[in-house]
Amino acid sequence: MTQNLHIEHPEDTILTGDTSFLQSIKSDFHLSVKMDGAPAIVWGQNPATGNWFVGTKSVFNKVKIKINESHQDIDANHTGEVAEILHKCFDYLPQNKGIFQGDFIGFGGSDEYTPNTITYKFDDIIDQEIIIAPNTVYTAESDLRDAVAAPMKYIITDTSYCKFVFPKAYIWSGSYLEGADGFEMPPIIDLIRELMS
């Protein structure tokens, strides 16, 4: 688990001289993919009050915290499209225990969505009211400002109102090993591993 900080893309860290990502090539690691939605939605049980809440990443602000435990809070803290999205999320996200973050993909009724810069095409028209791509879970003892993040490694079940989407991530380098349930890494990976030993 890590503090709730922006995570750099591996290719960006290499370009800036940080080669720590290459260490992961030497060992087993968890590969996660985050869909490109907007805005990021945070929801769950507020550890400070025990109440259900929704918000954007502003729930983690150190000074002007925007935690929405009611529709009135949403109206006081947000305007425009973000307020509209948060009102729907407040009504339709399941009130599970825990604190979650995911990207808002869109409102149901279509099979194609462009929430940010990437267009997502679904096999069928989405019947649920909202579509969320969960990616992070948090633990927090008494305050959201102290939340610790971890990648989501499990699936949240869809409800009749909320469609949860989870991208699948694979390493598609090399050739598939029949019967081995994996891929053979290309020779360059072996060379990098050897150089780093």
For the chain, 197 residues long, give each residue's pLDDT as a single digit of tens: 444 555 556 656 767 777 666 666 555 555 566 788 999 999 999 999 999 999 999 999 888 889 999 999 999 999 999 999 999 999 999 998 899 999 999 999 999 999 988 899 999 999 999 999 999 999 999 999 889 998 888 889 999 999 999 876 555 555 555 555 555 555 666 666 666 65
Residues belonging to the chain: 197
Single pTM value for the model? 0.76
Show the beta-strand stretches assigned E in 9-159. Answer: 40-45, 52-55, 99-107, 112-113, 120-121, 130-139, 148-151
| 178 within domain boundaries | no
Q: Does some domain include residue 125?
A: yes
> Does residue 68 belong to any structural domain of this protein?
yes
Residue range(s) defining the domain that contains residue 63: 32-164
Tell me if 56 sits within 8 A of 82, measured CB to CB. Answer: yes
197 lies in some domain: no
Number of domains in the chain: 1
- Other Cβ atoms within 10 Å of 133 Cβ, number: 24
**What is the pLDDT at residue 134?**
95
Inside any domain, residue 20: no
Residue 19 domain flag: no
